[in-house]
Chain A
Amino acid sequence: MSLLKGKFLGWWRGKDHEEEENLWQALEKDVNVLNSSQVQTEARLNLWDGVKADIFLNYVPAQRSGIIEKEIIARKGRHYVLKNGITRSYFSLSEEHYWIWKHLDGKKTVQQLIVAYSLEFKTLVRDPSSFDALIDGLRDANMLSDPPQAIYRELSRKIREGSLLYKLGWLPRILLTHELAIKGLDTHLDRIDRKFGRFLFSVPIQVILILVSCFGMYLFLELFHTHDFSNQNSAGQLGLLGLLFYLTIVIHEFGHAITAKHIGCEVYKGGFMLYYGLPAAFVDTTDAWMFGKREKLAITWAGPYTGYMIAGMCSLFVRFVPLPSPVVSEILLQLALFAATLSTFNLLPLVKLDGYYLLSDAIETPRLRERATDFFRYQLSAKIKQRQKWTAQDLLFFTYGLIGFLSTIYFTWTGLLFWDWQAGRSVSNLLYGKGELLANIGSMAMIFLAASSLIYLLVLLSSGLKQFVQWLERKGFFSTPGKAALVVVFCILAFVAILWVALPQSNQWIAPIAGMAFFGVAAWLALGNIQSLRGSKYRWLWLVSALGLISGMGRFVSDLGDKLPLPIQLTVWGPRLLIIEIVLMVLFIILVGRQLRSLTSGWRSTSLFLFAAGIILYNTSFIQFDEGALPDWLTLPVLRAGASCLVLGGLIHFRLRPESMFEIQKLTNGVSTREKLMVVYNWLRSILLSEIQLDYGVFVRSRVENGNSATRRSGAEEKDFSLDSAAITPGEIGIGMAVELDELLGNVRSVAGDVYMRRVLAYGYDSLNWDLQELAEDYILRFVSRARGLSSGLTDISNDLETLIKSVPLFRRMKHRRLNRLSKQFEPRYFAPNSEIIRAGEAGTTFYVIRTGRAEVLSADGKTLTHLGRGDYFGEIALLTNERRNATVRTLTAVEALELNRAKFDRFIHGKVKFDEKAKTNFSRLALLRTIPVFAQLDVQDLLVIAEKLEPLMFRDGQVICKQGELGGAFYIIERGDVRLEIDSSERARMGAGEYFGEISLLESRPYTETVIALQPTVLLRLRSSDFEKLLKSSVSLQKGIERTSSRRLRLNE
């Protein structure tokens, strides 16, 4: 290895060596490390490998000139900080990374650097992406000669800034955070430091200041207990307080800045800012990175220290200095209060303020908060489960994280209480105040801020709760009634405990608003349960409860009525709404009681029981509240427990599934497709039957399961989905299952209705995992017409059917809705290869469209006439007439065909479904045209084309229709009425409905041989020769058909 290293380093340093075949050179050849012209590599890179290498490994990074480097020696080790004075960016490097930085000379590629690094530190770099991250980081921090490029970030920014919403939001953005930096701040601070720094930071002065601060703070604490700081009510006083508060912030930031300057930092930026709408100050002391721990701690401590100094000095003044007026004393005390409060708050290590950075720098653990969070999220459970040893750092992160979490909850709650108090005062001021403009504006701003904060918190809370419930569901906490009950009890107790601690008494606003919120959420869940139970009579239960809850909300509004200066008296509604609520809730409890007897599924009964318990508890405690029968300490918790029961009861019902989908997943892990199909089929069946039993009872369930008397097949063989036979493919099994499922769905539908059937099927389908859903779709549900609409895949199948059907000329002009309805009349049929679908000579009543597969059409004598594939159709005449089949259709492969029988078609045409009148007319004319020899042999599509061109004409009694000798120009069919044919004024014949004349004029341009006169009001269908010629030109098949017919007629005439 030393030989290899020697050779490599020799090359590295540019010395010449004999090219001996050794291990290192062999390695060089293999990995193509060296890009030197001195070494011939065996493997030449192709273009794409080259591009790949060019992306990163062949990149040659170079240091930017003018970068300042600083070595920082700390307790935990040494690290380095780079500084770009022009762009004012910084980058921290560990020792190893600093070594890499030193070798970025613009001559070595990244690949060479990786190899050198490996040799230097005797560590194999398995993952070059760590180098990638370092190089990218250096470049982004402007430490490399290549400038950073952030194409996508720039693009996103430009797009965002170009949007109208962004432009309109300029004001909120300014109010949110906007900096007003003082120009040349560094210069000003430098001047101040030169004049006063040496004095201010001298040891004697610092000692004095420390003593002043300590003693002053002691006095301040004494004064704090005796002085009334809240006696500031006027707008002027409030304004002065605001100014004082702002002054303390400015002094605080000045403390940081001047200390940083004195130590030698550059203070690039500082000044005034708007922070979430409030005035604030800022200073940028990032240059402190270039200094050690002591300097950083000093700079960070300077801010709070300044605040304590100010508080101490002010207290000393108030105590010992005779002040000209009490106002001055008040101002000084307020200033002291703000300074001390701000400093103390800043020293909290749990939020990212000075205290946090003091802690993080003191223990030399940067990014403490983020790392503690990562520890909780990614490492804690592994540490506990695997019983790994905890290091000191683990303990630190755990402790910090836990305290941080608890304090977040505490601060959030305290904040809520503050806003509650503040909002209450603001609302009172607006409603009952003296009407001072400034006070009103302040109150409205306070309410706006309070409401926005509350909404934001509620959104966060609801998102967190939702994730928590989903997590519980994933972990199977709702899989059994017992586990669900545990969760529920825990939630109730936790909620009551939290409220007990945080809100021992409800104020006049919180109680009704909170009550409304609870009832509102419970009502929303109840209404959601109605929707989720559509089609079931069970859903009315939840409607009753929802109405009761809504009336309960109204009662809370009426409670607020006497607090709101409204023109109408809301309080009178309170008792009435209470009565309505009680009546509905009692009704709900009665209905629940009846249902509970038939409920066997634990989760549903759990949720209903919970809901009922909530109603009873809540209303009992509410009544007791006035009566005083319950001890006070119990009343409120009972009330809150009742409210949470309501919410949880509704939530459980809303969220739960009868069995966890993960149980299904376990059953199907690692089994074959057939076995999975079995599981899926049994699952869907069991869902259907269990839901029917829950809602309709055992008797109805058995009826549905076995089929009612109308649908039961006599002598039907038992369906055996035996998986033993290898000859049965999963596809065939699926088809069989589809047929059974379809029948079961039909039985469910006949008992409970279409909405219920679809809802329950969707319920079963949705509870499957996605891959089992796919399996169910591909093998079973695609053949179940009632399953269409369950998923986009099944809807696509339905759309495919419509596309196929629309290709049939018979239905081509049908509108989409009707086509959709017609497609539901089609039933899929499956034919094995080499089987007959229809046979020549037999009576036919069905029409087919081929969906998949191929078939051949055979004449009566067995000659192959044509082949059919997807989209082809046959048997359409059976829809219109009673003719026997004129051909046999035999499958060549397995065929899936869509079958429509005449009965369904007739019902569709003539039944409740409104059919297009024109199409209806065309169909009826089709039958008429087929009776005419000229058209008898034409195909249906040709006949339809002709039928469309037929014009109805009305003739009155005695009217001449055509004259003998006139040049024939049209062909007529008698639709209604009678006509007389005359030759040379003598009657030759009479014709009635369904007969025709003038057909020769279609085939040959000859004059009419008779005069035709209407004998009564007559309707004729006329086809002009000109139209007929156009049709002939446009349709080749029509031409051929007419040629056949005319040649036959000519032969006959001859």
Chain B
Amino acid sequence: MKCWVCGRPSNGICRFCGRAICSDCAKAAKTKPFILALFKNNQEQNAAIVVEDALYCGVCKPREQAIVLRNLE
């Protein structure tokens, strides 16, 4: 698979969107923390298991603001 950004042979897949990315473009995009699982811990706090430096393509936009899914209501 070729890198989404530059078209060269890719080395990995963006953890957030699935785009292929080569190592040079990934280095430029920098890694991003990825949430593996969300749960409530013993103290009833929202906790997450994260991958600190997941591969990120730099193209997709993981939105930080939660959305209300009206179509599922």
Spell out A's residues near B (CB within 8 Å): 45, 47, 50-51, 53-55, 58-59, 136, 139, 146, 148-153, 155-156, 159, 770-771, 774
Q: Is the CB of B52 within 8 A of A159?
A: yes
Give, as a whole number of angstroms, the nearest-CB distance from B37 to chain A: 13
- Across the A-B interface, the 7 shortest Cβ-Cβ residue pairs: A50-B71, A155-B33, A151-B64, A159-B52, A54-B67, A149-B64, A770-B8
B70 in the interface (beta carbon within 8 A): yes
Q: Is the CB of A155 within 8 A of B35?
A: yes
Give, as a whole number of angstroms, the nearest-CB distance from B69 to chain A: 5
How far does the alpha carbon of A54 sit from the alpha carbon of B52 in the complex, in Å? 28
Q: Which of A54, A136, A153 contacts B68 (CB 8 A)?
A: A54
A159 proximity list for chain B (CB < 8 A)? 33, 50, 52
Q: Is the CB of B71 within 8 A of A45?
A: yes
Q: Is the CB of A51 within 8 A of B32?
A: no
Nearest-CB residue, chain B, relative to A160: B52
Q: Is the CB of B71 within 8 A of A54?
A: yes
**Known contacts A149-B64, A152-B32, A155-B33, A58 near B70 by CB under 8 Å:** yes
B18 in the interface (beta carbon within 8 A): no
Give, as a whole number of angstroms, the nearest-CB distance from B15 to chain A: 12
B72 proximity list for chain A (CB < 8 A)? 47, 50
Q: Is the CB of B65 within 8 A of A139?
A: yes
Nearest-CB residue, chain B, relative to A58: B70
A55 proximity list for chain B (CB < 8 A)? 63, 67
Give, as a whole number of angstroms, the nearest-CB distance from B65 to chain A: 5
How far does the alpha carbon of A159 sit from the alpha carbon of B63 in the complex, in Å? 19
Q: Is the CB of A51 within 8 A of B71?
A: yes
Size of interface on B: residues with Cβ below 8 Å to A:
19
Q: Which of B9, B63, B64, B69 contacts A50 (CB 8 A)?
A: B69
How far does the alpha carbon of A148 sit from the alpha carbon of B63 in the complex, in Å? 11
**Known contacts A152-B33, A155-B33, A159-B52, A54 near B65 by CB under 8 Å:** no
How far does the alpha carbon of A148 sit from the alpha carbon of B65 in the complex, in Å? 7
Nearest-CB residue, chain A, relative to B48: A155
**Known contacts A47-B72, A155-B48, A159-B52, A59 near B33 by CB under 8 Å:** no
A774 proximity list for chain B (CB < 8 A)? 9
Give, as a whole number of angstroms, the nearest-CB distance from B16 to chain A: 10
B28 in the interface (beta carbon within 8 A): no
Nearest-CB residue, chain A, relative to B22: A770
A58 proximity list for chain B (CB < 8 A)? 70
**Known contacts A47-B71, A54-B71, A150-B64, A155 near B9 by CB under 8 Å:** no
Give, as a whole number of angstroms, the nearest-CB distance from B54 to chain A: 10
B50 proximity list for chain A (CB < 8 A)? 155, 159
B9 proximity list for chain A (CB < 8 A)? 770, 774
Question: Number of A-B pairs whose CB atoms are under 8 Å?
Answer: 48
A136 proximity list for chain B (CB < 8 A)? 65
Secondary structure of the A contact surface, majority rule: helix
Q: Which of B33, B35, B52 has the most chain A CB within a 10 Å cutoff?
A: B33
Complex interface bits, B1-20 against A, C-beta within 8 A gives 1, otherwise 0? 00000001100000000000
Q: Is the CB of B69 within 8 A of A54?
A: yes
B48 proximity list for chain A (CB < 8 A)? 155
**Known contacts A155-B50, A156-B33, A146 near B71 by CB under 8 Å:** no
Give residues of chain B (31-68) contacting chain A, Cβ–Cβ below 8 Å: 32-33, 35, 48, 50, 52, 62-68
How far does the alpha carbon of A414 sit from the alpha carbon of B67 in the complex, in Å? 54
Beyond contacts A155-B35, A156-B32: 6 other A-B pairs, Cβ-Cβ < 8 A, are A53-B71, A59-B67, A149-B65, A151-B35, A155-B33, A771-B8
A139 proximity list for chain B (CB < 8 A)? 65
Nearest-CB residue, chain A, relative to B66: A149
How far does the alpha carbon of A139 sit from the alpha carbon of B67 in the complex, in Å? 14
How far does the alpha carbon of A55 sit from the alpha carbon of B35 in the complex, in Å? 19
Q: Is the CB of B33 within 8 A of A51?
A: no
A51 proximity list for chain B (CB < 8 A)? 67, 69, 71
B67 proximity list for chain A (CB < 8 A)? 51, 54-55, 59
How far does the alpha carbon of A59 sit from the alpha carbon of B62 in the complex, in Å? 17
Q: Is the CB of B64 within 8 A of A153?
A: yes
B62 proximity list for chain A (CB < 8 A)? 152
Nearest-CB residue, chain A, relative to B63: A55
How far does the alpha carbon of A150 sit from the alpha carbon of B63 in the complex, in Å? 9
How far does the alpha carbon of A152 sit from the alpha carbon of B16 in the complex, in Å? 12
A-B contact pairs, 10 of them (CB 8 A): A45-B71, A47-B72, A51-B67, A148-B65, A149-B65, A151-B35, A152-B33, A152-B64, A153-B64, A770-B8
Give, as a whole number of angstroms, the nearest-CB distance from A161 to chain B: 12
B32 proximity list for chain A (CB < 8 A)? 152, 156
Give, as a whole number of angstroms, the nearest-CB distance from B2 to chain A: 10
Q: Is the CB of A54 within 8 A of B8?
A: no
Give, as a whole number of angstroms, the nearest-CB distance from B26 to chain A: 16
B70 proximity list for chain A (CB < 8 A)? 50, 54, 58
B65 proximity list for chain A (CB < 8 A)? 136, 139, 146, 148-149
A149 proximity list for chain B (CB < 8 A)? 64-66
Give, as a whole number of angstroms, the nearest-CB distance from B59 to chain A: 14
A53 proximity list for chain B (CB < 8 A)? 71
Give, as a whole number of angstroms, the nearest-CB distance from A73 to chain B: 34
Nearest-CB residue, chain B, relative to A45: B71
Nearest-CB residue, chain A, relative to B7: A771
Give, as a whole number of angstroms, the nearest-CB distance from B12 to chain A: 14
A148 proximity list for chain B (CB < 8 A)? 65
